[in-house]
Amino acid sequence: MALTQKQIQEENAMIEHITNHALNEDPNSNAPIPKIGKNVDMGRVLNGVREQIGKKNWKPNPDLTEEELKLMREDVQDRIIVARVGLLLRHPFFGNMATRLRIVPADDWCPTAAVDGRNLYFNTQFFNALNNREIEFVIAHEILHCVFDHLLRREDRDAMLYNIACDYIVNNLLVREGIGEKPKIIDCYQDFKYENWTSEEVYDDLEQKFDEEELKQLGELLDEHVDWSKDPNEDQQGQAPSANSGDGEPTKGKGRPSYSKEELRKIRDEIKENMISAAQSAGAGNVPAGVERMIKEFTEPKMNWREILRQQIQSTIRDDYTFSRPGRKGWHTGAILPGMNFQETIDLCICIDMSGSIGNDQAKDFLGEVKGIMDEYRDYNIKLWCFDTEVYNEADFSADGGESLEDYEVHGGGGTDFMVNWTYMKEHNIVPKKLLMFTDGYAWDSWGEEDYCETVFVIHSNRDKNLQAPFGITAHYEEAA
Ligand SMILES: [Zn+2]
């Protein structure tokens, strides 16, 4: 329900009053807090107060002289080195990564902190307002943006939302692992409900649930998330050229670097190498699980799902047709019903999980891929169906022509129950040489029956690229680039 103007006014008045009261800034602040109007949502008011207090706790001092700032900068630089040592001792992976970043003062363009994969940029007054443990937190925060590839991963997502999503991911990990202390002068985005999510998933959640105003209530970014591919000087286009920009030198206030796409990819590779060697020197047990997963992804060569699919189908079809219906272990203990129409040679059963995030296009892409492989064979039989909590739309395809796999209509939308596929096969006396399941991997309960037939799970999901089915073969579907 949308807030009325009156509610907003009343709540804002409460927020201001309580904040002033708490900070003792208002000479009238000792006046009693007004009665809470019936339109006021105290949860929202308290969030507002929290935000105000967070912001009021710290402001850069605009009156510092150059000399004072210089001294402060030297002190801050020393303290960053100390924090780095602290990280090396307590959290060697982060300490090791930190020593690979050049520490660069950036008061002219950076109000907090920023990172480009090679340099850690700091604002003197911002860092000066942090204690040593909070500096550790900020350094580790910057390192995690590199580790999780947040510099290049945004693609065409909305920058503000994606930045918030990334800070949730990073801050959650730091708080959970107890790395440094969350700075008090910033009301950081942090919420354990996003535990083990990817930045893309948090992004989708934020996009669905919150508008811009509400996002501000949830917290604020810890640091500057710079789009390094954008030249800061371009922002000045259309403005009168300033006196000192003629020689190509960056003008004051625009001193930050920018990189070509190619250079950024090079930086990404450097970060990967750094991560692997930092993890090695940190030793087992000293790398947070989320980071370990990222490293595993880089270092373990992964087979493309198409290769796996091809390999699996080929191994199935190349068998001679000695497949015999009865005699599979462990399943049909019951009598076979008379009059049952047995399938002669079912090479492949394909079941498509239509419960979750799989769209028609993805399913068709997947079927197109299967068809491409099948076109190489003179003889085959495929049985195809969709499922959510039940099986439907069963259809048969063979080399003799008829309908094309790609024209198959996919339907679905309910919950998920992987077992319905096995129940269905048993009820209909279907024992394929291989079962291919195209799924998002959200098996609520059982993944199916291990011993029934060979199973290949082609998982379409951004959630966890390391998700493995408990049996059979797992491949991760990726959309054509
Ligand atoms: Zn950040």
**Of 86 and 37, more confident:** 86
- Tell me, what's the pLDDT at 29? 53
DSSP 253: T
**What would the mean pLDDT of 343-369 be, rounded to a whole number?**
77
CA 43 / ligand 1 centre spacing (Å): 26
CA 225 / ligand 1 centre spacing (Å): 6
CA 269 / ligand 1 centre spacing (Å): 20
Q: Please, where are the H alpha helices in 283-416?
A: 289-299, 305-318, 360-374
User: pLDDT, tens digit, for every residue of 91-113?
Assistant: 999 999 999 999 999 999 999 99
CA 356 / ligand 1 centre spacing (Å): 31
* pTM for this prediction: 0.57
The token pair at 431 is 């024992």
CA 163 / ligand 1 centre spacing (Å): 7
CA 152 / ligand 1 centre spacing (Å): 14
- Tell me, what's the pLDDT at 125? 95
- Tell me, what's the pLDDT at 213? 83
**Of 296 and 242, more confident:** 296
CA 171 / ligand 1 centre spacing (Å): 8
CA 287 / ligand 1 centre spacing (Å): 20
- Tell me, what's the pLDDT at 329? 39
- Tell me, what's the pLDDT at 301? 63
**Of 443 and 339, more confident:** 443
CA 190 / ligand 1 centre spacing (Å): 11
The residue extents of the domains of the chain are: 5-56, 66-231+252-299, 305-328+343-476
- Tell me, what's the pLDDT at 152? 82
CA 453 / ligand 1 centre spacing (Å): 48
CA 187 / ligand 1 centre spacing (Å): 12
**Of 241 and 235, more confident:** 235
pLDDT above 80 for 457: yes
CA 120 / ligand 1 centre spacing (Å): 12
CA 48 / ligand 1 centre spacing (Å): 22
**What would the mean pLDDT of 297-312 be, rounded to a whole number?**
77
CA 216 / ligand 1 centre spacing (Å): 15
CA 142 / ligand 1 centre spacing (Å): 7
CA 164 / ligand 1 centre spacing (Å): 8
- Tell me, what's the pLDDT at 123? 96
How much helix, strand and coil, in percent to the nearest 5, is found in the chain? 45, 10, 45
CA 345 / ligand 1 centre spacing (Å): 57
Q: Please, where are the H alpha helices in 108-228?
A: 124-128, 132-147, 159-177, 199-209, 212-218
305-328+343-476: CATH architecture = 3-Layer(aba) Sandwich (3.40)
Q: How many CA atoms lie within 13 A of 466 on its CB side?
A: 15
Q: Band of the pLDDT at 333, cuts 50, 70, 90?
A: very low
CA 228 / ligand 1 centre spacing (Å): 14
CA 189 / ligand 1 centre spacing (Å): 9
**What would the mean pLDDT of 229-236 be, rounded to a whole number?**
72
Q: Band of the pLDDT at 404, cuts 50, 70, 90?
A: confident
Q: What is the mean pLDDT of the chain?
A: 81
What is the percentage of the chain residues whose pLDDT exceeds 90? 37
CA 478 / ligand 1 centre spacing (Å): 28
- Tell me, what's the pLDDT at 240? 37
CA 357 / ligand 1 centre spacing (Å): 29
CA 87 / ligand 1 centre spacing (Å): 18
Query: Exposed (0-12), middle (13-18) or buried (19+): which is 174, by Cβ within 10 Å?
Result: buried
User: pLDDT, tens digit, for every residue of 427-449?
Assistant: 999 888 899 999 888 887 789 99
- Tell me, what's the pLDDT at 259? 93
User: Residue 379 corresponds to which amino acid?
Assistant: D
- Tell me, what's the pLDDT at 58? 72
User: pLDDT, tens digit, for every residue of 368-388?
Assistant: 888 888 887 777 888 999 998
**What would the mean pLDDT of 205-214 be, rounded to a whole number?**
88
**Of 308 and 107, more confident:** 107
